[in-house]
Structure 1
Amino acid sequence: MDCLSSGFADVDHSEDSSLFSSCLETLNSLPYFQDYKRQSFELMNVRPGSVVLEVGCGLGFDAFALARIVGGSGRVVAVDSSRTMLQKARCRAEGSGLCIDFRLEDAGHLEIEDNSFDCARVDRTLQHVPEPKKVLEEMARVTKSGGCILAYEPDWGTFTIGSADRQITRKIAEFWCDTFKSGWIGRYLYRYLQEIGLEDVRISPSTLVITKFDLANKVFDIFKNAEKAMNQGMVSSSEATGWLKELQEDDRKGSLFCSYTGFMAWGRKP
């Protein structure tokens, strides 16, 4: 069974890659994600002529936005570990006239020369890799002196669901967090950017709130998460069913509440 929390790490071997494409399209349509992405471009000082690295580009939405900023005198290199995602990104880019170089890469071992970029960013990718600090080290290696390295990541330890059953909610929320390869990456970004030698390291939190069940299920994979927790014996079938019914009833009443806090951290390469 393909699940968002674990499946993004290996999209090419998923049963249905459209699940992941659909998730990315949904996130890209939400004002919360649009706002922090725009802010990230400003913090990196992306401008016409900039040469930018986008790590974990997915369908290429952010690469397209960056390419529009840097223009014909700049360049965006967008890397991903998924051939499927890259193929879809390239198809979307056809005929756009944008200067984007989509590449298949292992983000922890980039086949890119040192000091190649003016700035580099990674967005919701580190949560899916087992050694996120190595990815940040590689991003710093290929960025020029004075350039900005920026990361936005959720911390799934902050995931909240407004259910009356605290015990079941805690079990399912913790299960969701622990099925990511690096579910706590948000709280480690500040430390990691310092440890890889960046200067002027800053971090800023922001919280996504969702109050509609259908959208929450698209973003947080609630049905599958409850089913997997049940299959692994963390909750019983009746507990999972009752919990889901409660959330759907809250949705009908207009009182559903789900949220998580994400962290955007950035620093400058000496």
Structure 2
Amino acid sequence: MPTDQGPTARHRRLATELRRLREEARLTPETTSGLLGWSRPKLVRIETAKGRPTVADVERILDVYGTDFATRAALLQLARDIRTRGWWAAFGDVLAGGYAELEDAANRIRTWQTEVVPGLLQTPDYARVLIAGAFPDDREEIDRRLQARMARRARFARTDAPELDFLVAEEVLRRPVGGPAVMASQLTTLIEAAEQPSVAIRIVPMAHGHRPGLGEGSVDIFEFSAPLELDTAHVETMGGSMYIEDITQVRRCSSMLDRIADAALSQEDSVVLFAAIREEFQAHVHA
């Protein structure tokens, strides 16, 4: 039975994969449950993550489907870890679990940002200004969300952190969020982040005028090496977040990021521009 908190991400992934394998085998729930010697409701509950299967249950299901070795091993590991929750569960009141799960599990994250500094690169002061804009009269909510955002950043100091590839429109860096002092500090953080071997941060300069992706907004692409994970694109809209798993659409997003990357400065030239813009903000601080 699921816990009061609901199924874990691993539980949901396992349920989804077991249903997909049954459908690929062209078996109905009735036929499959008969082959397993189970009731149909038991199988349906497993496939909808409303019932928690044992490792032995999953082994029996996979025997029926004739699953290949790699997939079988991956699914059995999911079954063993089915109760394990991610770090983000502690921030379930303010942090979107789906996004945090993708961010935590990805092997590579590609981001194109046209509005604000990417969340994983934001300083506390910069992030607080953005959060306060959405919750101007709720200091407790602001503090809680800031704590969650900084927890996200801390995760990427681990040794198995994913490769990060950021593309940022120059206008993002010139937008005085929080004022000159906050921006000068934020640019220092970007310069320091760019020194990390697993982090690439490149600027798409305003001087280009028209550029690829103009008017299409920001996007994140989470790339995976695991056989059971689909690369996923994430897009923010006025109506909320949209997650794209369709292979064709994800490839379209990836191709667009490739074209934007071709228009970006090199990492070295981007760091030079970071420093130049920082000097401009610092001049306003001391004026």
TM-score if structure 1 supplies the norm length?
Answer: 0.24
More helix by share: 2
User: Larger C-alpha radius of gyration, 1 or 2?
Assistant: 2
TM-score if structure 2 supplies the norm length?
Answer: 0.23
